[in-house]
Amino acid sequence: MVAPLLVWAAMPISTSISFDMQSGAIQRFNADDDVFWDWPSVDLRRAVAQDSHTTQALIGSLLGYQKRLQEAGDSDAQFFSASSVSSWQAMSLSSGDGDLRLQSLLFTESQMISGAAHALDDINNMLGDLANAPTRAIKRFADFGADFTQAFHDRLNSIYGSDSLRALSSVLLVEVSRAIAPELYIGGSSSLLSLLTFANNHSFSLDSFLSGDMPPKDQVALAQTLVGTTAT
C-alpha cells in the first residue's frame, strides 16, 4: 500500500507538537520539549496526517506522480489528481494495513532521530573531558561513533525496505548533516567522516587537531574513511 508512504513523506518534520486533545487541534509544531513528536498518539497522528501542511505537500507529490504517469501513458494517472488528496490521507489512516504501515515509518524515523540526538549529546559531553580527562574523552568518542552508526544503520529498517535500506545509511547521514547545519552546505563540495588511530607515543597535539590541523602520516597507526560523498 503506497498511501502511508506518500502521506508520511508529506508530513512536516517536527520536534514535539503542542496538541489540544479536546479539540483535536495542533497548536504548534516544533515545541522542542522532545526531539520527535508523539507519533504513537492516535489522535495526534491523525491530526498531523490531515494537517494543512501535509495536505499541501501531498498535493504537490501527487501532481508530480500524475504527470510522470501521464507521460508514460499509464491510466492510473487519474488516481493522482489534487482532488484525491483526502482519499490518500484516509487510506493511510485506515484501521487495516494503512495505519500500521504509517506507524512503522514513523517508528523508524523516530528511532533514527532519537539515536542521532543521543549520539550528539554524548559527543557534546565529551568536549568538556578533552582537557582534563583525555582517556574518558576517547571512550566517549568511541561510544558516539557506535551510537551514531547504530542510528543510521541498525535502526534503518521498515516494512518498506527492511535490511535493503541500509545501503542508504551513508546518504541519510549526509542529508541529516545538511539539515542540522544548512549554512555549511556548498554545492559541489565533498564531505567525509573518518576515524584516525594515533601511533603509540605520538607527539601530535590533540588541541591542534581540534583546531583543524591534521597529524603527520608517520604518527597515524590507522586511518579509516567511514563516509565519503560528493554533494551536487
Residue 162 — pLDDT band, cuts 50, 70, 90? low
Q: Could you tell me if residue 104 is inside a domain?
A: no
pLDDT above 90 for 154? no
Q: Could you tell me if residue 100 is inside a domain?
A: no
Q: What sign does the dihedral 179-184-186-188 (CA atoms) show? A: negative
Contacts with 125 (C-beta within 8 Å, 6 or more apart), sequence order = 140
Q: Could you tell me if residue 195 is inside a domain?
A: yes
| Same domain as 80, residue 13 | yes
Residue linked to cell 498531523: 48
Q: Residue 94: left if φ>0, alpha if ψ -120 to 50, beta else—which one? A: beta
Confidence at residue 157, expressed as pLDDT on a 0 to 100 scale: 57
Total of domains in the chain: 3
Q: Could you tell me if residue 102 is inside a domain?
A: no
Residue-wise pLDDT tens digits, 78-90: 999 999 999 999 9
- Last residue within a domain, chosen from 94, 124, 139: 94
CA 149/CA 169 separation, integer angstroms: 9
Secondary structure of residue 20 in the 3-state scheme: strand
Q: Could you tell me if residue 103 is inside a domain?
A: no
Most confident of 141-145, 200-204, 228-232: 200-204
Helices (H) then strands (E): counts for the chain: 8, 4
| Same domain as 204, residue 137 | no
Contacts with 62 (C-beta within 8 Å, 6 or more apart), sequence order = 6, 80, 81, 82, 84, 85, 88
Predicted model pTM: 0.65
Domain that holds residue 232: 186-232
pLDDT above 70 for 72? yes
Q: Which residues pair with 222 in a beta bridge?
A: 197
Residue-wise pLDDT tens digits, 208-218: 776 668 888 88
| Same domain as 177, residue 131 | yes
Residue range 34-45: mean pLDDT, rounded: 95
Cβ-based neighbour number of residue 101 at 10 Å: 23
Residue range 18-25: mean pLDDT, rounded: 94
Nearest Cα to Cα of residue 218 among 201, 194, 195: 201
Percent of the chain with pLDDT over 90: 39
Q: What sign does the dihedral 200-142-32-30 (CA atoms) show? A: positive
How far out from the chain centre does Cα 135 lie?
31
| Same domain as 213, residue 146 | no
